[in-house]
C-alpha cells in the first residue's frame, strides 16, 4: 500500500509543479507538460512492478501511437478559446475530438498491420 501512495504522490506532485509553473509562465509550463515525464514514470513503475521488457516495449510503442491523435487538441482548444467559445465547452469539444481520433487510430492501426 505504501508503494501505491508513493506512486500517487510522485505523479500528483508532477501535475502540481506543471500547473504552478504554467501559472507564472504558460510557455515554460507547456514545455514541461510536453515532456514525456508521465510516460517515463509509467515505464519506471511498470519496470518496477513487472520487469517485463516486452510489456514495457509494447507500452512505449502504444504510447507513441496514442500521442499522435491527442496532438490536434492542443491546436483546436486554444483556437476555440480565441474565437470566443467558453472554456468548458471548448475543453469538452476538444476532448470529444481527441476521443474520436483515438477511436479512429484504434480502427486504422490494425488495418495497416500495427498491433497495439
Cell 506532485 found at: 13
Q: How many domains does the chain have?
A: 1
| pLDDT score of 106 | 94
Indicate whether 102 belongs to any domain.
Answer: yes
Indicate whether 94 belongs to any domain.
Answer: yes
Give the CA angle between residues 8, 47, 36 to the nearest 5°: 65
Query: Which domain, by its residues, includes 104?
Result: 54-116
| pLDDT score of 83 | 98
pTM of this prediction? 0.77
Tally Cβ neighbours within 10 Å of residue 37.
Answer: 15
**Mean pLDDT in residue range 7-21:** 87
Indicate whether 22 belongs to any domain.
Answer: no
Indicate whether 66 belongs to any domain.
Answer: yes
Query: CA 37, CA 32: separation in Å to the nearest integer?
Result: 8
Indicate whether 37 belongs to any domain.
Answer: no
Helices (H), 25-86: 26-34, 37-50, 53-67, 73-82
Amino acid at each position: 500500500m505504501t508503494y501505491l501512495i508513493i506512486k500517487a504522490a510522485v505523479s500528483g506532485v508532477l501535475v502540481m509543479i506543471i500547473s504552478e509553473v504554467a501559472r507564472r509562465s504558460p510557455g515554460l509550463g507547456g514545455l514541461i507538460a510536453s515532456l514525456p515525464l508521465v510516460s517515463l514514470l509509467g515505464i519506471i513503475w511498470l519496470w518496477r512492478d513487472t520487469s517485463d521488457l516486452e510489456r514495457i516495449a509494447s507500452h512505449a510503442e502504444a504510447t507513441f501511437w496514442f500521442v499522435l491523435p491527442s496532438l490536434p487538441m492542443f491546436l483546436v482548444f486554444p483556437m476555440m478559446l480565441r474565437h470566443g467559445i467558453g472554456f468548458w465547452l471548448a475543453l469538452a469539444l476538444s476532448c470529444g475530438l481527441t476521443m474520436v481520433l483515438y477511436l479512429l487510430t484504434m480502427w486504422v492501426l490494425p488495418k495497416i498491420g500495427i498491433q497495439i
